[in-house]
Structure 1
């Protein structure tokens, strides 16, 4: 048995990585994976970290030598549903990269065959695999519709306890990697000035929102999330530096630094899309935003006004109903419930209205099926969902791509956790294209001027770090 394991490890070390998409019928690939799974896939050990915040910083900078990076940071935000304070996954052993055609089935097969940690994203446009929908708007970023990878090296931090998981083929690198991490220099690099443009002008925005209101008054939809893009061409930036500035401003619970070769996501999201804990599914849609004030009285007044705002509550409740319907597709009958309705949560820049909807699923239910039947998240579409998505496509001028999608991970035990990609900067270093988008929910009570101001409030942090 040991001899066979050594032969397999030698073969695997001879090949830097497999792309599952490139070998859809590669039986030898599946055989190798199956053999490794029966012989302890990962080497796991724990370590106490004296300075977790400093270690996180070093870990992020150390990770930049790899082509594939997912760095998740909760910023120590207090939340009930959380497994780790920080996660780093690097260096793809296997991966899947595809467009939306049949993508959920491809992901399902990949997840079932690896039965390991997988990190990656679903772009907004994988909706086209679920329904008869299209995405034909301008795309300056050109990210794949779906990308996941199986990391060779994984770091899981909770408090000052670090768990390290390396694939067996590279576990002899653990000691040298820790030496590199501890010696890693943390440095700041200033980027050149970036000329940010607006894809939809203010007047065009008002016109499009009024068209959205016409659809609502006709009864085509009740609510839709309408977004607009800000962008820069011929732009060069330092992704780690920008991410850390953005994260420092917002300190959200679902911050993510993502890298796939020259494609980057710098994400300061406050919103969870979906989490699976054993048989429990948790969705936490955000609808409702109010600005923060440095004056405590004004800040408390803003928070109270949000809590009592009938328009914001109406928006949130409509999306809660949509989420309940989505979860019912895979839920055990009678288990869909609202744990919290219209709770008010405070972040560095804004107050947000968040609800928590839960359900239970059978052990046999595929994790990917749960994602497929709830995607895209209702907070970024509207209600009814399909009609809203069609109207969104007509009125918006940029392909959403990874914006409005979800980034997260699967565990070897079929659990998962995904955020909503909002309050984020996307960067294609090969194309020198920078993009960020913002949006708001349009309902019958919407005022175009107020919706526009809400968009600018959400864009404030991105403008600040890029200016």
Structure 2
């Protein structure tokens, strides 16, 4: 079905930039970059998929059934996303908040052209209908001149929920927690700009340079873009092993090395941050148990501290084993949306989130990734991301924090601003 060719490359970083710039001629693009961040479950340094041969685009109604049919029929590489609002396909829930972006709830495509980079080698896979272009494309990409872009004008960013309203809403959420309706909920707010025009490639490259995360994404569907600097993995399938790596717990960085180490140590010993993380670990364990073989759900690492350019993060790793006959779509369906972006109990938290937030989450706090032909998959969590609809000239990014009984509303607001810092820097040229 695919012609596969492997090529050596002298300068992987330059080749990645050439790939990204070359890809923009296509209507559909998924560019995934690990930024050389190594962990136990790293596979590719960079992946590019372009040009749909077939695609699936739908709202949440029967979305997982449609995805099951699509994935089991094609049995090929598929790239795309699951939006947060697919929750409405899984549970009796609604998404009635404002939506300025108008992205489909689910989008996947079967690429004609695929590039898999690992160290100094790129594996190129073309559908045989277009494999006569392979050598031509590789030569063109290898000689592709890197474009020089000037800095865009600073964009005026607006805040959907003013600080005083945010604090009132967190107090309402604390009321739900004190009454026992929920233990924890991830509460998010939107920053946005309307009537704006950006160069998505430039914004993505600037954002990626600032953050250099392990799950960066440049996504394009015609006029719709995701520019993501996500540090978080949602779910990965390797044969019969399932891996989830939820993030809960954030601390800012310092340019002073001694102070930075103290901030890291404080995060590690922070009772509130640890309790947030452990609650979500318990939720993930429960989610994975729906498809796991008996006794196979394990916590490989609890509350590990990992350092990124902008922040320190607390990350846990939860794994399970599934039968080799278990559908990959069923594994996603029974764990989605990811616990780190909802709360516990999950359904109650999602209802309260919908009532208190003012923006439809859409692709934010959803997942982007891919399926392999054998059904293995890897998906990130869409956070630290800018969403842009070039047709409607609307730009949006959201940030959130976990609200627990120990939360202080003003401090939660400050945590949101820490998480938003990279997006502000990129869009306001700070």
Fold-level match, TM-score > 0.5?
yes
**In structure 1, how many angstroms separate the alpha carbons of the residues matched to 2:119 and 2:411?**
41
> Partner residue of 1:261?
222
> Partner residue of 2:398?
437
Higher Cα Rg, which structure: 1
Equivalence map 1:203-242=2 (5 Å): 203-242=164-203
> Partner residue of 2:292?
331
> Partner residue of 1:110?
70
Structure-1-length-normalised TM-score: 0.91
Q: Deviations over 1:186-231 (max 9, x none)?
A: 2214323311100000000000000000000000000000000000
Q: Deviations over 1:50-106 (max 9, x none)?
A: 100000000000000000000000000111101100000000000000000000000
> Partner residue of 1:460?
421
1:318 aligns with 2:279: yes
> Partner residue of 2:257?
296
Any idea what SS the aligned residue of 1:235 has? coil
**In structure 1, how many angstroms separate the alpha carbons of the residues matched to 2:258 and 2:36?**
26
**In structure 2, how many angstroms separate the alpha carbons of the residues matched to 1:158 and 1:79?**
14
1:251 aligns with 2:203: no
1:432 deviation in Å? 0.1
Contact 1:292-1:351 at 8 Å conserved across structures: yes
**In structure 2, how many angstroms separate the alpha carbons of the residues matched to 1:213 and 1:461?**
28
1:86 aligns with 2:32: no
> Partner residue of 1:76?
36
From the superposition, tell whether residues 193 and 296 of structure 1 become closer, same or farther in structure 2 (CA, over 3 Å): closer
Stretches (4+) displaced over 2 A: 189-193
Say which of 105, 115, 121 aligns to 1:145: 105
> Partner residue of 1:158?
118
Any idea what SS the aligned residue of 1:65 has? coil
1:179 deviation in Å? 2.4
**In structure 1, how many angstroms separate the alpha carbons of the residues matched to 2:154 and 2:242?**
44
Q: Deviations over 1:319-367 (max 9, x none)?
A: 0000000000000010000000000000001000000000000010000
- Mark the runs of 5 or more structure 2 residues left unpaired by the alignment: none
Q: Which moved more, 1:191-200 or 1:210-219?
A: 191-200
Equivalence map 1:363-442=2 (5 Å): 363-442=324-403
**In structure 1, how many angstroms separate the alpha carbons of the residues matched to 2:150 and 2:328?**
40
- Mark the runs of 5 or more structure 1 residues left unpaired by the alignment: 1-40
Say which of 177, 182, 197 aligns to 2:142: 182
Contact 1:189-1:238 at 8 Å conserved across structures: no
1:66 aligns with 2:26: yes
Contact 1:275-1:282 at 8 Å conserved across structures: yes
**In structure 2, how many angstroms separate the alpha carbons of the residues matched to 1:186 and 1:226?**
40
**In structure 2, how many angstroms separate the alpha carbons of the residues matched to 1:257 and 1:87?**
11
**RMSD of equivalent CA atoms:** 0.6
Any idea what SS the aligned residue of 2:137 has? helix
1:345 aligns with 2:306: yes
**In structure 2, how many angstroms separate the alpha carbons of the residues matched to 1:141 and 1:418?**
22
Contact 1:403-1:437 at 8 Å conserved across structures: yes
> Partner residue of 1:48?
8
Say which of 96, 107, 122 aligns to 2:82: 122
Q: Deviations over 1:142-169 (max 9, x none)?
A: 0000000000000000101110000000
Contact 1:192-1:236 at 8 Å conserved across structures: no
Say which of 202, 209, 213 aligns to 2:163: 202
Q: Which moved more, 1:53-62 or 1:174-183?
A: 174-183
Any idea what SS the aligned residue of 2:320 has? strand
Any idea what SS the aligned residue of 2:295 has? coil
**In structure 2, how many angstroms separate the alpha carbons of the residues matched to 1:158 and 1:179?**
19
Contact 1:124-1:376 at 8 Å conserved across structures: yes
